[in-house]
Amino acid sequence: MSTEIVSHFIAGYPDMESSLETARGLAEGGASYLEMQIPFSDPSADGPVIENACRLSLERGCTVDKSLELMEKIHGELNIPVFLMSYGNILFARGMKSMVQQAKDAGASGLIIPDLVYGRDEGLYALGKELDVPVLPVITPTIPAERLDEIIGLEPEWIYTALRSGITGSLTTLDESNLGLLDRLKPLKTKVMAGFGIQKAEQVRVLAPHCDAVVVGSAIVRAVTEAYNQGDRARNAARLIIEDLLK
Amino acid sequence: MSVYNDYFGPFGGRYVPEILQPPLKELELAFQEALGDPEFIGEFEEFCRDFIGRPTPLLPAKNASREIGGAQIYIKLEGLANTGAHKINNAAGQALLAKRMGKKRIIAETGAGQHGVATAAACARLNLPCVIYMGEEDIRRQHPNVYWMEMYGAEVRSVTSGSRTLKDAVNEAFRDWTANSADTHYLLGSALGPSPYPDMVREFQSVIGREIKDQADFQIDAMVACVGGGSNAIGFLAPFLDQKSIKMYGVEAGGRGKGPGNNAVRMADTGRPGIIQGYKSLFLHDSDGQVLDTHSISAGLDYPGIGPQLAALGKEGRIEFTEASDREALEALKFFARTEGVIFAMESAHAGAAAIRIAKTMSPDQNLIINMSGRGDKDIFISAAALDGENWRDFLEKESRRKYVD
Ligand SMILES: Cc1ncc(COP(=O)(O)O)c(C=O)c1O
């Protein structure tokens, strides 16, 4: 089975056009899925790399409407599923239902909203069912057993597993403490994407057999930032990093 | 009112990622259990008496009342609490709770530095290592408090993300807690954030209102407090909420005036429902949900959200919200210093300013209490610059040329 990568990028970063170019590069490099983050002013589950990128994106004029337009464009142009990641307040402020509908209309394959957990979700999970948009629970290896059972019981299409007890951006070690959870989820019908701190091809190789797709985030943002600041094309940088990770 | 509510009408809740749900549940249970344990209450009371210096006085402000010519004004002098503000009540309660829970490390956010100073002092007394997150911008503005926190043995970590102020320090503290909740307690400084914080902070701050119940040998007609996140206001008001004859006022920062970025008024038509930093309440954010900048001369009121219980009480009409501008706060600072020999913290001066207006509409046989949540020593760099610019600049220039060490 070939390795599937979910590659994360931020709408409007480094600028609107370059985020589209980034998405193109990620697809060309061989990513199987995209995860587009709509920037939020207070992304408390993200580390400094992504937070900074979100701030710059907003300063450069990115809005939710522009992000959704970008998603629609990517969805139409690239033959690749795109998940939408953001924070609860972006949905809540715009109206839960209209935002889920708009995400669906823009072609989102699923919604990743880490601070709206099942049971404290402002109706997100019910709306996902009603409008047929998968909502991805985000869990970590520290999750209590009963809670894990509850989430598995939802029979979501995907579960998003953050591999360590922290925030995005620093290197994660892969061992029994996190791979154990993945092996527990493996037999289920629910598919699992796993990430947080994945930066090297070697990690991708270790992780891939334990899940359905490996999520890469900060490493891409870092590569794109570096290229952009040197006047290089975001598209090439994005393509190269995925190619490297798949080596 | 129960000790643990979680929601207050439409507001409150616990909107955090899955990973922070178990530590918040642990805290919810530990806090409820501790409040039911006479031994814990005894420890808290001892700390309040021996260290904080409680009870704080309720001062009859006779000169001020005479000059204003309306209600009789009383001032609850929370600023006389050790470390200079009400913040220590909550810091002490939570630090004692953390110790009881077996936590080995404390983290906290701070804006102006008052909560950071209180937390660092409580941790010094209880021998708990502590890390204070503070925005880079606030570190620049509030250097004296950084100095005190470090003297108490705290590590002050500069936060360089976002607007580099209080809300970013909160985000950073949550990030730390996400990675370290097993041995670390996050000592949040106001009556907001995910549950159980709004409930827990209210309970520890309610010592303010409970003391007033003992001290006030007169009928209370009105109570006035400033509202940043809402901890001094809710602690002052909560014990009186069911006494419907008392009119209650919350005072927000009117800043430079109307318009986004000029103030921190959330309870007028400017604040809209949102879910930010773990709780649902009224916030200053745009139609996309992006948090807006705020401004106040007082760092403690310069925050885009308001505690969920106060937001609910405001919507229900139990508490009336009003605002005071930067300039009105400075005027009130001068007024109470001149008439009563009391220097209000800049935050509390907002309550003072509104109280002057409100007292004028009342009659001399009525009584109004202001919560002076803090004293103004900490603000000297701000108040002196605003009120006595030339002389103060001269002084600072001379000071900066002085040789400190040789
Ligand atoms: C003296 C004083 N009053 C009021 C506040 C505002 O906070 P809260 O609304 O939680 O009482 C602060 C915050 O730093 C403060 O230092």
B115 lines ligand 1 (CB under 6 A): yes
Q: Complex ipTM above 0.90? A: yes
Residues B192 and B283 in one domain: no
Q: Is the peptide bond prior to B55 cis by the omega test (within 30 degrees of 0)?
A: yes
d(CA B161, CA A48): 7
Tens digit of pLDDT for each residue in B183-202? 999 999 999 999 999 999 99
**Digit-coded pLDDT (tens) for B247-258:** 999 999 999 999
Among B168, B201, B234, residue at a domain's last position = B201
Q: Whose CA is nearest to atom 5 of ligand 1?
A: B300
Residues B76 and B108 in one domain: no
Contact flag A93-B16 (C-beta cutoff 8 Å): no
Angle at A50 (CA atoms; ends A41, B26), nearest 5 degrees? 75
CB A219 within 8 A of CB A240: no
- Identify the residue whose C-alpha is closest to ligand 1 atom 1: B374
For residues A11 and A224, give the distance between their C-alpha atoms in angstroms, rounded to a whole number. Answer: 13
Q: DSSP letters of B173-225?
A: HHHHHHHHTTTEEE---SS-SSTTHHHHHHHHHTHHHHHHHHH--S---EEEE
- Best residue for ligand 1 mutational test, from B77, B190, B350 (most atoms within 8 Å of Cβ): B190
- Is A202 annotated as catalytic? no
- Report the pLDDT value the prediction gives residue A169, as an integer from 0 to 100: 54
With a 6 Å cutoff on the Cβ, whether B116 touches ligand 1 is no
Q: Based on the domain organization, do B280 and B327 belong to the same domain?
A: yes
B79: in domain: yes
Distance from CA of A28 to the nearest CA of B (A): 32
Q: Is B111 in the pocket of ligand 1 (CB under 6 A)?
A: yes
How many whole angstroms separate alpha carbon B248 and alpha carbon B220? 10
The reported pLDDT for the residue numbered A48 is: 83
Q: Do the Cβ atoms of A218 and A7 come closer than 8 Å?
A: no
Total-model pTM: 0.96
Q: CA-nearest residue of chain B to A148?
A: B18
Where on the phi/psi map is residue A172: left (φ > 0), alpha (ψ -120 to 50), or beta? beta
- B211 and B273 both lie in a single domain: yes
The pLDDT confidence band at residue A196, using thresholds 50, 70 and 90, is confident
Q: Minimal Cα distance from A120: which residue of B?
A: B15
φ, ψ for residue A209, nearest 5 deg = -65, -15
Same domain for B27 and B155, yes or no, is yes
The residues that bridge with B280 in the sheet, in sequence order, are B12, B275
Residues from chain A contacting residue B272 (CB–CB below 8 Å): 93
Q: Give A165's pLDDT tier (boundaries 50, 70, 90).
A: low
Q: Which of B19, B163, B171 to mutate to test the interface with A (most CBs of A within 10 A)?
A: B19
CATH of the domain at B254: 3.40.50.1100
| A167 pLDDT higher than 80 | no
What CATH number does residue A103 fall under? 3.20.20.70
Active site residues per annotation of B: 87, 109, 373
Summarised one tens digit per residue, pLDDT across range B329-359 is 999 999 999 999 999 999 999 999 999 999 9
Q: Compute the distance from residue B80 Cα to the ligand 1 centre, in Å.
A: 14
Contacts of B18 (CB under 8 A, 6+ apart): A114, A117, A137, A138, A139, A140, A143, A147
Domain around A115: 5-245
Q: Rounded to the nearest 5°, which phi and psi values hold at B251? A: -115, 120
Say what the pLDDT of residue B140 is.
Answer: 86
Pocket test for ligand 1, best of B347, B348, B350, B377 (most atoms within 8 A of CB): B347
Range of the domain at B369: 53-84+206-386
What integer is the mean pLDDT of B15-32? 97
Residue A1 has pLDDT above 60, yes or no: no
Confidence at residue B65, expressed as pLDDT on a 0 to 100 scale: 98
Greatest alpha-carbon span in chain B: 64
Position B194 in a domain: yes
Kind of pairing, strands B72-77 and B58-60?
antiparallel
Count the domains in chain B. 2
Do B331 and B364 lie in one domain? The reply is: yes
Torsion of CA A149, A154, A159, A162, to 10 degrees: -50
Query: Is the minimum CB–CB distance between A112 and chain B shorter than 8 Å?
Result: no
Q: pLDDT per residue over B43-87, tens digit each?
A: 999 999 999 999 999 999 999 999 999 999 999 999 999 999 999
Would the CA dihedral through A128, B171, A197, A11 be positive or negative?
positive
- What does DSSP assign to residue A2? P
- pLDDT for the residue B215: 98
Ligand 1 atom at minimal distance to the Cα of residue B190: 10
